[in-house]
Amino acid sequence: MTSAMQNIFQTAKIKDLAQNTVEVTAKTGLTTDHGVPVADTDNWLKVTNGQNSGPSLLEDQIAREKIHRFDHERIPERVVHARGTAAHGYFRVFDDRAAKYTSAAVLTDSSRTTPTFVRFSTVQGSRGSADTVRDVRGFATKFYTQEGNWDLVGNNIPVFFIQDAIKFPDFVHAVKPEPQNEVPGGQSAHNNFWDFVGLQPEASHMVMWAMSDRAIPRSYRMMQGFGVNTFTLLNGEGKRFFVKFHWIPELGVHSLVWDEALKIAGQDPDFHRKDLEEAILNGAPPKWTLGIQVIPEEREHDFDFDILDATKLWPEELVPVEEIGEMVLNRPVDEFFPETEQVAFCTSHIVPGIGFSDDPLLQGRNFSYFDTQISRLGINWEQLPINRPVCPVMNHNRDGQHQTRITKGRVNYWPNRFEAGPPIPPNHGGYVEFAQKVEGIKARVRGAKFNEHYNQAELFLNSLTEYEKNHLINAFSFELSHCDDAQVYETYTKLLSTVNLDLAKTVAANVGGQIDESSTRRPHGQKSAALSQLHYAPKKPTIKSRRVAILLADGFNGTEVTAIRAMLGAAGAVPFLIGPRRGKIYPAGQAIGGDGGVLVDHHFEGQRSTMFDALLIPSGKESADMLMASGRCIHWIREAFGHLKTIGAIGEGVEAVRRALKLDVTQLDFASLDDSAVTSSYGVVTTGKYKATSAATDMLEVVTG
């Protein structure tokens, strides 16, 4: 890391973590945990006759310590969202435009840079599961504000499966691996999940999202984040507003195609982890805009859905999103366990100016998160370096396992004769709850409007493009085909009939399900533009951080490849050379094995097209001939084409693409091989000769478009 980069990364939190950070170098000698220098870490103390090694001695305190420490390395994984990855960053508001809604300085003071730490995750799989499975993604943000930590623990889907927190254990038991055999890992395609959601109609809206492309993101950097629950904002005049939080990615919302996701899960299970780190280290730190949807208190009941129901979103046509600030993630963690694994979020962690609502899912979450951290990390989990605030912490909570704070003074209670550790009054920043009027009887009930479960499921479906709908049908078909209990898939396709009869008929026909035409619900036919991913095409298209594979062999056109690599690099893309061996290969005109040549990043077998966003086949007859003769290279081209990747080809490379795809000129809109680059409607860019303005430039446009 350059010193200039180090300066950028020094937020208050990074400086705070430095107190606990050590570095292993050749100069830091080995010691025991109690600091005694260790001379031999390879041989247990033994009795020996000089020739043979005899019994190991229990007295070896150095060996015992090493083994003890190892035996206890594991802690319980998160009960959900076990697999994740994280990065540091910062948040800034554009100006004080949100001051009309809230007094929270983090949301209104544009002179501040608030350090953040974000953990992205999948939900179902265990710590070692694959990244690209079909699942909801967690998007949990810790803001280290000057008034304490604010945790916005969100997902990449704006609604949830259930309305009331008391159903959470049932839902999680149903989606997680089944109890008798712990199958499946990292998948919701099994009887118990579909059994539960088929009997729990309130899940129908969320299930539509989970079967859409949202559940197979291309990258954590290319997905939205949503607070999901309804929170409240309190302004300086004491007026309260309901609020939903949105993260909108600068790069737009993009997904994998399902076949790609399945393959990557095997080929590179850490695909999303690596992607985040690679982008940051390559100078393309991901950025999100923070948006808020705000409803004044007096309008709470103006909608035909309950605004406190987490299975409903607030259509943006009714409640527009106001963009108030942005977050950049610009620093990977130094060590996974103390940072990514030990970070602990709590929805109950809010700061003055932000409050809760009576959303019954949120209220249960506010209990659950703190509780789960106790079994995962112990009662003093908030003192762990990654969790501790950057502002002063002082109270009379004491002791407990792993207490690290030494509080000087003679009292640990309030009130005390020294007036030590006094409460901070509201006019000095003390948190005050909004004086909400509450009346009613105790009962196990839900609000009346919570009973409608299908209108927004239909709204979501209506809002998708044709190809998004096809993906949805295929996802339902994949998942329900994995259920082998007929009662399960028949129940679900019947339920789907109430959302949309045509959808239900298609899915039922695919999976052997049944439809139910008895529903009295009348389709409303409405759409909401912001529900399709297409709505989130990037404001400024960019090829930054996109991975481009250049497929080539000895005899490629050297000048062309040098120029194209430079161009892609200058535009922020990450070019990789993929060749017949991971070593030097030689352009036309250079002797094989001579001084020249270029170093190839990967062998054809070492990676697959799924790991790249685009493919380029340069000119050079020998190179193209070799590619055409290789089944693996033909597979590279066909697979990339099948996954709708941009393919660029120049000169003889065009012939290689054409032969691999077994398509003739007219079918692909290939141009005659002249100097000008041509982009076909399939995203195949071809040109006769390399020109600075031809294939590579067009490719940039196609990849980013």
Given the rule CB under 6 A, which residues bind ligand HDE?
78-81, 84, 119, 121, 138, 140, 153-155, 160, 165, 168, 228-229, 310, 344-345, 361, 364-365, 368-369, 372-373
How many angstroms separate the CA atoms of 704 and 237, rounded?
Answer: 46
Q: 622 phi and psi, to 5 degrees? A: -60, -40
Nearer to ligand HDE, 248 or 617 (CB): 248
Q: What long-range pairs does 170-179 form, CB within 8 A, spacing at least 24?
A: 170/196, 171/196, 171/200, 171/203, 172/79, 172/80, 175/123, 175/124, 176/80, 176/124
690 a known binding residue?
no
342 C-beta neighbours (distance < 10 Å), count: 18
Exposure b/e, 561-587, CB count within 10 A at least 16 = b? bebbbebbeebbbbbbbbbbebebbbb
Nearer to ligand HDE by Cβ, of 168 and 241: the residue is: 168
Cβ-based nearer residue to ligand HDE, 165 or 262: 165
> For residues 265 and 416, what is the distance between their CA atoms, to the nearest angstrom?
59
- Complex with ligand HDE: residue 140 or 472, whichever CB lies closer: 140
User: Quick check: bond before 184 cis, omega within 30?
Assistant: yes
Q: Which residue has the tokens 């008798």?
A: 180
Whether 229 is a known active-site residue: answer no
Residue type, 52: N
Please give the biggest Cα pair distance in the chain.
Answer: 92
Q: How far apart are alpha carbons 582 and 468 in whole angstroms?
A: 39
Closer residue to ligand HDE (CB): 118 or 617: 118
Nearer to ligand HDE, 388 or 469 (CB): 388
DSSP 671: P
Name the residue nearer to ligand HDE (CB basis): 276 or 634: 276
Of the candidates 149, 155, 330, 500, the residue annotated as catalytic is 155
- 81 catalytic residue (yes or no): yes
Q: Residue 520: what residue type?
A: T
Shortest reach from residue 72's CB to ligand HDE, in Å: 21
Q: What is the DSSP letter of 89?
A: E
- Strands 114-122 and 137-145 come out as antiparallel
CA distance 297 to 465: 35
Active-site entry in 7, 34, 49, 81: 81
Sheet holding 547-551, edge to edge: 602-603, 574-579, 547-551, 614-617, 646-650, 684-687, 678-679
Tokens 């809002």 belong to 463
Q: How far is the CB of 374 from ligand HDE (least distance, A)?
A: 11
Give the end-to-end CA distance of the chain in Å, rounded to a whole number.
32
Phi and psi torsions of 132, nearest 5°: -95, 20
Q: Give the integer Cα–Cα distance in Å for 449 and 215.
A: 28
CA 226 to chain centre: 12
Q: Which is nearer to ligand HDE, 152 or 626 (CB)?
A: 152
Give yes or no for a contact between 641 and 617, defined as CB atoms under 8 angstroms apart. Answer: no
Amino acid at 542: T
Residue pair 47/55 in contact (Cβ under 8 Å)? The answer is yes
Closer CB to ligand HDE, 79 or 671, in the complex: 79
Residue 576 phi, psi dihedral angles, 5° rounding: -130, 140
How far is the CA of 68 from the CAs of 33, 61, 159, in angstroms? 11, 10, 45
By the 10 Å C-beta count (0-12 exposed, 13-18 middle, 19+ buried), 146 is classed as middle
The helix-helix angle for 631-642 and 652-661 (nearest 10°) equals 80
User: Residues at the annotated binding site for heme?
Assistant: 369
User: Residues at the annotated binding site?
Assistant: 369
Q: Which residues are catalytic?
A: 81, 155
